[in-house]
Chains A and B, each alone.
Chain A
């Protein structure tokens, strides 16, 4: 089946620094990728939809200058948390749709971000 990877799987950073998370589709081309945030024991909250070669579409309440998304190729999307603060600590999950998987999303394993 379709495989999506994320890197890093976990990261700890100091308050005020920026952190980049990568999402890759390993065996298919992903025209659309999604970024979600999940708080402990809660559901996934869609942050933004990322289309290759165009600007991301952010959900209401998500600061686009805070969470920078780049989808430069059909296999890679990045999420950069800028000037991270402790309240940004969360589990970030990406997913991808692609030509090989038109009916559903395939999820990455997630990245746990802890901001000290």
Chain B
């Protein structure tokens, strides 16, 4: 079945760039997403990329997609303490709206 994997933790210093990586198995993925979850809250959509794109940039966020390797990354430039949260990678295939989530990467930003 479909699977999405992420590393569990990442720690960076304030002002540095953060790169969160994700791999997925469904070669028919149409959309790939990055969500942010702060403690005790629901998920906030950060950005998404269509499967026919290689890169998408949105202010401090850069998403890179390597479809051949089924690898997705999220780069956060100039990471701030407010960026500390759990980041979920997710993919959606062609069979409707069902979305598969990774386990989440917990980002710690040190001041």
State the A residues within 8 Å of B (CB): 4, 6, 32, 34, 41-44, 46, 49, 93, 95, 97, 103-110, 112
Contacts and interface: CB of A to CB of B under 8 A. Distances in A.
B42 A108 contact: yes
A107 B104 contact: no
B97 A44 contact: no
B40 interface: yes
Tell me the dominant secondary structure on chain B's binding face: strand
Interface size class of B (residues with CB under 8 A): 20 to 34
B102 A93 contact: no
A10 B94 CA distance: 35
Q: Which 9 A-B pairs have the closest CB atoms?
A: A107-B43, A109-B42, A107-B42, A43-B103, A110-B42, A44-B101, A43-B101, A97-B97, A108-B42
Nearest to B30: A103
A109 B41 contact: yes
A104 B41 contact: no
B77 interface: no
Contact of A104 (B31, B88, B101, B106): B31
Nearest to A59: B98
Contact of B88 (A6, A41, A44, A49): A44
Interface in B18-73: 31, 33, 35, 40-45, 48
Contacts of A43: 88, 101-104
A107 B44 contact: yes
A104 B103 contact: no
B11 interface: no
